[in-house]
């Protein structure tokens, strides 16, 4: 298993961190964070930016859903002026990044843990991984590389993040910050891909799994530091949570400029006028 050492992380054969090569601050953070948890042999999976050739191939092949209607609600308008009703370049780039990662995972039989570079692992992770190992050894779950399986392990900070009794449920959670999949599920994702019709997390966790293929693990072992507390600026949609974080750090001028960026983004980039 993982680097020949029997640790709780040995439940996974390989650990991948999805990260843009240019995100040096995130890579510095996640490298330290994972090392503190005893993870030193993870692999960076280089993510695509909006100008990456693989993104351009997807766009030129007309594989990206176009507004109208809204890719989220299927309507012309949801009544919100800040609705992200069209798939923007960074969202397509995230999808392209995951397509490439699934090809890597599918190529070799494995049980892969996938983390994003702003992940935050919570203190109860050892008991959760021990729970999963026991569930598998007792035949209560199946997580063999040749079976299409997905485990949702971490999502945006919420009331779910509490050191409670471990359990497995069918509840949907968008778990891109931390999820585990078998090589067979990676191949299933590739086989079921027909186009970028929604965001990558919705495809992975909601649209692609067939009954019995996906489970959600409680308590979640991870959250992330962009959407949840704003420590990092979102690389898709700038959020006021990052401005609040900057303000709390005494960087009022940067916070004000970032709030202006959020306003500009939501009115000119993420939103298409319904009159167009």
- Position 267 scores a pLDDT of 62
- Partners of residue 14 on adjacent β-strands: 112
What was the pLDDT predicted at 79? 74
For position 5, what pLDDT does the model report? Answer: 43
Residues 178 and 169: their CA atoms lie apart, in Å, by: 16
pLDDT of residue 275: 41
4: helix, coil or strand? helix
β pairing state of 111-116 and 14-19: parallel
Q: Which CATH architecture has domain 2-224?
A: Alpha-Beta Complex (3.90)
CB 214 within 8 A of CB 202: no
Cβ atoms within 10 Å, residue 260: 12
Residue 193 burial (C-beta neighbours within 10 Å; 0-12, 13-18, 19+): middle
- Using DSSP bridges, classify how beta strands 167-169 and 214-218 pair: parallel, antiparallel or unpaired: antiparallel
Give phi and psi for 113, each to the nearest 5.
-100, 125
pTM for the model stands at: 0.92
**pLDDT tens-digit readout, 140-186:** 999 999 999 999 999 999 999 999 999 999 999 999 999 999 999 99
What is the chain's length?
276
- Say whether pLDDT at 40 is over 90: no
Residue 206 pLDDT > 60: yes
Mean pLDDT of 80-108: 92
Task: Give the start-to-end residue ranges of the domains of the chain.
Answer: 2-224, 240-269
Q: What is the mean pLDDT of residues 51-57?
A: 98
């Amino acid at each position: 298993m993982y680097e020949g050492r029997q640790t709780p992380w040995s439940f996974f054969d390989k650990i991948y961190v999805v990260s843009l090569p240019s995100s040096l601050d995130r890579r510095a953070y996640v490298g330290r964070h994972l090392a503190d948890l005893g993870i030193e042999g993870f692999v960076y999976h280089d993510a695509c930016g909006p100008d990456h050739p693989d993104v351009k191939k997807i766009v030129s092949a007309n594989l990206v859903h176009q507004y109208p209607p809204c890719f989220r609600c299927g309507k012309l308008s949801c009544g919100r002026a800040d609705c992200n009703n069209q798939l923007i370049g960074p969202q397509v780039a995230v999808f392209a990044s995951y397509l490439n990662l699934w090809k890597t995972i599918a190529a070799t039989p494995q049980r892969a843990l996938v983390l994003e570079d702003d992940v935050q692992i919570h203190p109860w992770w050892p008991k959760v991984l021990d729970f999963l190992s026991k569930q598998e050894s007792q035949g209560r779950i199946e997580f063999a590389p040749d079976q299409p399986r997905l485990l949702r392990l971490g999502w945006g900070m919420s009331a779910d993040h509490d050191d409670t009794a471990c359990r497995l449920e069918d509840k949907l959670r968008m778990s891109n910050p931390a999820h585990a999949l078998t090589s067979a599920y990676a191949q299933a994702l590739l086989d079921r891909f027909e186009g970028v019709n929604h965001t990558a997390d919705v495809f992975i966790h909601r649209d692609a799994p067939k009954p019995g293929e996906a489970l959600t693990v409680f308590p979640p072992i991870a959250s992330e530091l962009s959407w949840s507390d704003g420590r990092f600026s979102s690389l898709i949609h700038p959020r006021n949570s990052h401005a609040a974080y900057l303000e709390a750090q005494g960087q009022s001028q940067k916070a004000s400029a970032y709030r202006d960026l959020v306003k500009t983004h939501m009115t000119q980039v993420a939103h298409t006028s319904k009159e167009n």
